[in-house]
Amino acid sequence: MVRNPVKDQVAIVGIGSTGFTRTNERSALALGLAAATQAIGDAGLRAADIDGVVAVAEPGAPTPQMFASSLGLDTVTHWTRPSPVVMFAIVDAVNAIHSGCADTVLIVSSMLRLPWASRSAASDPFRRRSGSAVPRVPEDIGLAPAYAAWASRYLHEFGVTREAWGRIAVNGRSNALRNPLAAIRTPITLHDYEAARMVREPLCMLDMDLPVDGADAFVLTAAARAKTMPHSPVLVHAIATGMVGENTEDQLGGLARHGQHVVVEQLKAKSDFWIDDVDVYYPYDGFTIITAAWIENTGWCGIGQAGRFLRDHWVDAEARVLIGGRVPINSHGGSLSEGATRGTGHVREAVVQLRGEAGERQVEGARTALVTPGGFFLNAQGALLRRA
Amino acid sequence: MTETTTPSDAELVERLSHLPVERDTAEHYRGYLRRELVMSRCADCGRWHHPMRPMCPACWSWNVAPTAVSGRGTVHLFIVLYQGPPAEGVDYAKAPHPVVTVQLAEQEGLRFTGTMVDCALDEIRIGMPVQLTWIERHGSPYPAFRPAATPGAA
């Protein structure tokens, strides 16, 4: 039996973001503090109001105790350092607030490009020494290469082309054009996608998210308390993470059942509404194949049908998708074009839209959001958010 | 070259410093030196596991033993790396590096990932039969796959 005792009990009341860039000389701590102070201010709060700190364990990112001391917090009753992707942090904050471990929790996710991920990052003497000491070989398809590997299987099993992935890449970039926080704001076309350099065939440069520097922060508190705060609270209606036992990348049973399926089952059972009632939609796009899989596994279309679905809902004049002529996909540009925030950008943009503060990106009357960060193996997750 | 004596744990870690050798996977890597692809197999229920597991995930038996697989199977996943981790004998700029995940004959879902040799890139296909072979990397044998010998051919 699936339970949901936290339904609508906790609200996101503050957001802050540095924006994302590929040229940055600030430290992960400085970026995190900039986002954190902005989020606390956005919630109408001060340092003394924060008693929980969740600092996402991005490589080289500051610990919760460093944020507590650097922000001059007074008394802290809950602090953790969850793995990326974003929803582990949100789940933790929701649980801490609902259980009484903390009243008001700050989440900070601060990221710096790893030296091996970018030539400019490699030239930074302070980050050359970071990164993993475990030797990796070309034949290890763990982590990122696994998505290219299963992408090969996707093409094989469904007899489709790379069309869906191209549309996801172009859609992200077209949406980023309207987002001042985005790292890249130059348009691309499906032709550019076809011509892009292969990196891990069948995935090319434009199938992969963009390594960036920057930070996002969130403030969450009990829904009852949120009513007195400056912005319309955004309620966490349902939240889930999902994994199957055989999750080793090359041993995964197959595309028919993995973490995404578990998340979808959980969310459907926990929520009062589903995709027919969703106004804005944020499927993860660390790789385009992940987005195609989310779209299919969430039930927007059949398995292997993402290409046709995106073509059917494509708005040529805007070079992007509007489902049913209305619901955008990753209206901020996603990890592909805003930058590889590991899902914090997706949650932040959902909050901005549900508050009605998205300016030229605003979806009229947006009241509900579906956010599904993560991939297949170890970090599939999702949440349904709604405006109070 | 193929070893005749069994190296100690310390020798193994030193010898294969380019590989992520850990306590639970040591026998897998020690097998490389004998040109055997070793995985763990449960002596009670017969299930194979890769990566090696200290306890059988299927029946929770601790009676698991390092056992060599045949190395026969079919290509299940296939990528071509145009960039990636450095490795001896791999020059991405000159020759994009193929990596295949092979569904092994021993058990549905039991797979091993390696590079493909003796086969042009554009001839590699998901579903093609392959067999284990060995290449040299950093002076030690390293597993790879090649197209399966056609029955009846030399």
Over residues B56-95, the pLDDT tens digits come to 999 999 999 999 999 999 999 999 999 999 999 999 999 9
Strand (E) or helix (H) holding B12 = helix B9-15
Q: Reply yes or no on whether the pLDDT at A130 is more than 60.
A: no
> Given an 8 Å threshold on Cβ–Cβ distance, is A138 in contact with B77?
no
> Given an 8 Å threshold on Cβ–Cβ distance, is A200 in contact with B51?
no
Is residue B128 less than 8 Å (CB to CB) from chain A? no
> Given an 8 Å threshold on Cβ–Cβ distance, is B109 in contact with A246?
yes
Please tell me the predicted confidence (pLDDT) of residue A25: 86
DSSP code for B150: P
Please tell me the predicted confidence (pLDDT) of residue B2: 60
Å between A205 CA and nearest CA of chain B:
11
* Complex prediction ipTM: 0.90
pLDDT in tens, B81-137: 999 999 999 999 999 999 999 999 999 999 999 999 999 999 999 999 999 999 999
Calculate the alpha carbon distances from A5 to A8, A177, A239, A352 in Å.
9, 39, 11, 26
How sure is the predictor about A125, in pLDDT bands with cuts at 50, 70 and 90? confident
Å between B27 CA and nearest CA of chain A:
18
pLDDT in tens, A260-272: 999 999 999 999 9
Q: Residue B20: which of A135, A152, A199 has the nearest Cβ?
A: A135
How sure is the predictor about B4, in pLDDT bands with cuts at 50, 70 and 90? low
Residues from chain B contacting residue A255 (CB–CB below 8 Å):
none
Please tell me the predicted confidence (pLDDT) of residue A133: 56
Closest residue of chain A to B121, computed from CA coordinates: A201
Domains of chain B: 1-68 (no CATH), 70-149 (2.40.50.840)
Q: Residue A152: which of B79, B90, B109 has the nearest Cβ?
A: B79
> Given an 8 Å threshold on Cβ–Cβ distance, is A198 in contact with B57?
no
Å between B38 CA and nearest CA of chain A:
16
pLDDT in tens, A298-352: 999 999 999 999 999 999 999 999 999 999 999 999 999 999 999 999 999 999 9
Q: Residue B51: which of A137, A203, A248 has the nearest Cβ?
A: A248
Is residue B115 less than 8 Å (CB to CB) from chain A? yes
Other Cβ atoms within 10 Å of B144 Cβ, number: 19
Contact present, A22 and A185 (Cβ < 8 Å):
no
Residues from chain A contacting residue B96 (CB–CB below 8 Å):
198, 201
What mean pLDDT, rounded, does chain A reach? 95
Please tell me the predicted confidence (pLDDT) of residue B151: 66
Is residue B17 less than 8 Å (CB to CB) from chain A? yes
Domains of chain A: 10-112+213-221 (3.40.47.10)
Is residue B84 less than 8 Å (CB to CB) from chain A? yes
Please tell me the predicted confidence (pLDDT) of residue B154: 44
Closest residue of chain B to A147, computed from CA coordinates: B79
Q: Reply yes or no on whether the pLDDT at A70 is more than 60.
A: yes
A163-176 helix and A288-298 helix, angle to the nearest 10 degrees: 100
Any alpha helices (H) in chain A, and if so which ranges?
A: 28-42, 64-70, 87-99, 119-122, 144-158, 163-176, 190-195, 223-226, 259-270, 288-298, 306-312, 334-337, 344-355
> Given an 8 Å threshold on Cβ–Cβ distance, is A200 in contact with B109?
no
Please tell me the predicted confidence (pLDDT) of residue B3: 62
Q: Residue A7 contacts by C-beta under 8 Å, 6 or more apart in sequence?
A: A237, A238, A270, A272
> Given an 8 Å threshold on Cβ–Cβ distance, is B77 in contact with A201?
no
Please tell me the predicted confidence (pLDDT) of residue A129: 57
Is residue A137 less than 8 Å (CB to CB) from chain B? yes
Å between A154 CA and nearest CA of chain B:
9
